Amino acid sequence: MTAMVSSSNGLTTREAARRLAADGPNRLPAPRRTPAAMVLLRQFVHFFALLLWGAAVLALLAGMPQLALAIVVVILLNGVFSFVQEHKADRAAQRLGELIPAKVVVRRDGRRAEVDAADLVTGDVVLLEAGDRICADLDLADVHGLAVNESMLTGESVPVRPERGGRVLAGTFVVEGEAEAVVVGVGGATRLAGIAALTRAASRPPGPLAVQLGKVVRMVAVIALAVGCGFFGLAVLLGMSPGQGFLFALGVTVALVPEGLLPTVTLSLARAAQRMAAKNALVRHLEAVETLGATTFICTDKTGTLTLNRMTVAEVWGSAAEAVRSAVLSSTGRLVDGKPIGDPMEVALHVEAMRLGLDVDAEVTARRPFDSARRRTSVVAEGVIHVKGAADTVLPLCASVPAGAEEALAGMSGRGLRVLAVARGRGPRERDLDLLGLVGLVDPPRDDVAEAIWKCRLAGIKLAMVTGDHPGTARAVAAEVGLLAPGSVVLTGPELPPDDAALGELLDRDGVVVARVTPEDKLRIARALRSRGHVVAMTGDGVNDGPALREADIGVAMGASGTDVAREAADLVLLDDHFATVVAAVELGRATYANIRRFLTYHLTDNVAELAPFAVWALSGGQIPLALTVLQVLALDIGTDLLPALALGAEPAHPRTMDGPARTGNLIDRRLTFRVFGVLGPAQALSEMLAFGGVLWLGGWTFGAAPDAGLLAVASGTAFTAVVLGQFANAFACRSQTRWVGRQRWLDNPLLLGALAFEAAILLVFLGVLAVAGLLGGTFPSAAGWALATLAIPAVVAADATHKAWNMRRGVN
C-alpha cells in the first residue's frame, strides 16, 4: 500500500492517479463464486443421488429399461427442484461492497471535488458531513460536533463521538456534525474487508438432518447390497444360472432402494419452508427448517432483535415540558415527515416534544456541540442558554440541585435508562444554571420478547445475549425481558478466555450476557458452543454479524432492519424482525423433524411388505412363487407411497411440540426400528402373503407346483392390493405415536385424505388398465381376493393399537 502522505490541500490529481494505479480501486476483494452449473451438478452427485444412479444402471443391466427410466426421472426432478430451492448464491461479501457509496467529496489540488468512491486513494483528504456514508478507513484531522453510527460494525446502538486524531471506519454513517479526514485504508485494507474475509472463511457446518439422512442412506445402501448378494447366492443354490441369478439379485437390490425417500424429504422441507414464510420467517436453505427444530442454544443480538432499535423517552423527572423543550432546542436531530434525521436520542426527544405539543422553533444564535471531554451540548436561543448532557457534567453547573434529583438519577440509571440532565441559564455562559429535569431514554424491548424467551426455556433451549452494546445497557435489557437467569454471568468481549474450550465451558449456561463483542468474538462463541455438542442458532442484523451467522448451525438475520450482508450470510431471515418469530420457526422445525420420522416409519414399513415376497420365495426354496414383481415394487415406491408420505410431512404440529428439549438423536432409533420391523411391517407383510397364498390355494395351487400364469397374475394383483390397502391403515397409524387410529381427528390433515383418495384411484389404474397391468405383472383380484386384501386394514390397525396400548401401560409416550 502506498505510504500515506498528504497536506491540508489534499493530493494533486497526478499523485492520486499514480496511487490509484499502484494500489488499485477502492473496492472489496471479489470472492470466488461457484458457477450455477456446478451448483446444479452437485444436486446429482451426492451420495443418495449416486446410489439411485447405480440403481438405474443396474436396472438397465437387468433388462428393465422402464425401471431405469423411472429412477432417472426421479433423480432429475429431485435435483432440479433442490437446485431451484437452494440456488441463492452466498453474496455476503458482494453485499459488503454495496456499503461503499458511489461518490465522495475530497479536496484535491486545493479545491473541493466529487470523485467516485472507487477512485479514492490513501492520503486523500475527505470532507464529511451529516448523512454521509463513510467509504474508507479515515483518520480525523478536524472535527466539528461529529457523531458516527457504527452499529453495523460494532453492534453499539449509541452513536460515537470521535475526536481529532481518532479513526472512523468504512461502512459507517455520519449522523451529526462535520469533519475533515485523511484516508488511511482503502479496498482490501479496510476493517470492512477484514470482516468480509471472516465471513468467507467461516464454513457452514452440515445440519443435523444432513448428518442423519446420510446415516439412513448408508444404512439403506448396505442393506440393499447385502440382501442382493444373499439372494444371488440363494438363486444359484436353487438352480438358477449365475447369469439369471445375477439379474434377479439386481432386481431385488433395486427394489430395496427407496426411490421416493429423497423427493419426500425435499418436498416436506419445502412445504415447511412455505409455512414458515407465512409466519414471516424466510428460509434460505431447506435444511435450516429441521436444524431450527434441533436448536439447543440461541445467541441473540440485542439492538433491533430484543429491542425496537428506536430510542424512546421513558421517564422525565422534574418539569417535563420545560426539560423536554430545552433538550430539543439544544439538539439537531429531528423527525421530519415520519423519517428520523440525526442522532436517534435527539430524534426521540423531538418525538416526545411533539407528543406534548411543545413549540420547539426558536432561532439559535450560538452553539457549542457535544465533545467527549465536555459530554454536553449547549445553545443560546431566545436570549437564554439551554444545556443538556451527562448528569455528572451538567449538575455541577447548576446553582442548586433540587431535592430528590440524586435519588431520581440513581433510580433511572439502575433501571438501565440513558439519563440526560437538562438545565437553563439566564445568560450566554454555562454557569449558575437552573436544573429543569432529568430525561431517561431507552431502546424499548419488543412486546412479545418476554413470552418468546419463556417458550424457549420451556423447550429446553438455552439463551445468551451477544451484543456490541454497553454491558450496563445489555444487563438492564436482559433483566427486563427475563433473559437474565439465576446464576447468569455478564461479561465483555475482552474478558472472554482465549482458549475455546474454556470459553465454551464458561458460556454453556442459560441467561449469559456478553457485551462489547467483536466479530471475532461472536465467531469464537458460535464455534465454542458447537464444540460442546450444541446446535447453535445465532441472530444478527449488522455487518459484524456475518461471520458468526455462517459459523453457527443456523444463522438468523433480521429482514426489516438488518443489512444485506447479514441476510445473505444467514439461513433464515425474519421478515418482521420479531424475536418471537424465531420461536414459531423452532416449533415448525420440531414439527418437521417429527413429520420426517412419521414418513420414514411409513416408507420403511412398506419396504418390509415389499421385501417379504422375495424373503418367502427364498426361504421356501422357490416352492412359493414371487408375490410381487420388481416393477410392482417400484410402482408401490413411486406411485402409491409418495403422496401419503408427503401428506404425513404436512401433519400439523402437536400442541406439546415445544414441551421439553429437542430430539436430536438418530432419525432411525431403537423405538422406530421396533415399530417398523416388529409391529407395522410384519402386520402388513403377513396380510399381503396370506392374501396371495389364499388366492393361489382357492385357485387349486399346491405347494411347490408352478401356478397357471393367469392365476399367478390374479394372486399377484391381490398381494399388490393388500399392500396398498395396508398403506391406508399404515398412514393413519404413523400420524401419532400414542393415539390409535380410532382416536384421531381425521380432518386435521385433509392432505392425507386427498393422498389416500389418489392412491385408491391409481390402484385401479395399475390393476384395471390392461397395458399397465401387463407391464407390472398383476391383474384385478377376484371377489375372494378383494375380501382377503381388505383384511390388511384391520390387521395393521389392530397391531398398531396393541403396540400403543402396551407402550401406554409401560408409561412410554
The count of C-alpha atoms lying within 13 angstroms of the C-alpha of 267, restricted to the half-sphere facing its C-beta, is 18
Q: What does the alpha-carbon distance between residue 359 and residue 173 come to, in Å, rounded to a whole number?
A: 30
Grid cell at residue 205 = 457446518
CA distance 745 to 728: 15
Sign of CA dihedral 263, 264, 266, 267: positive
Residue positions counted in the chain: 813
Instruction: Measure CA of the first residue to CA of the last residue in the chain; give whole Å.
Output: 66
Give the separation between CA 733 and CA 801, rounded to whole angstroms: 8
Among 801, 292, 145, which Cα is nearest to 587's?
A: 292
Q: What is the DSSP letter of 302?
A: S
DSSP state, 330?
T
For residue 757, give the 3-state DSSP assignment.
Answer: helix
* Contact status, residue 800 vs residue 740, Cβ threshold 8 Å: yes
Q: Is 301 a catalytic residue?
A: yes
Helix (H) or strand (E) holding 573: strand 572-574
CB 523 within 8 A of CB 202: yes
DSSP E strand stretches across 330-403: 334-336, 339-341, 364-368, 376-381, 384-389, 398-400
Residue of 702, 497, 520, 535 whose CA lies nearest to 153: 520
Own/partner contacts of 449-458, CB < 8 Å, gap of 24 or more, are: 449/306, 449/481, 449/579, 449/580, 450/481, 450/482, 451/580, 452/579, 452/580, 452/582, 452/583, 453/481, 453/482, 453/483, 453/579, 454/482, 455/583, 455/658, 456/298, 456/583, 456/586, 457/510, 458/658, 458/659
Q: Which of 308, 309, 299, 193 is nearest to 517 (CA)?
A: 299
CA 248 – CA 694 distance, rounded (Å):
25
Q: How far apart are CA 126 and CA 114, in angstroms?
A: 10
C-alpha to C-alpha distance for 388 and 696, rounded to whole angstroms: 98
Phi, psi for residue 95 in degrees, rounded to 5: -65, -30
DSSP string, 783-806: HHHHHHHHTHHHHHHHHHHHHHHH
| Closest CA relative to residue 369, chosen from 349, 354, 389, 392 | 389
Q: Catalytic pick from 301, 510, 637, 641?
A: 301
DSSP category for residue 28: P
Q: Catalytic residue positions?
A: 301
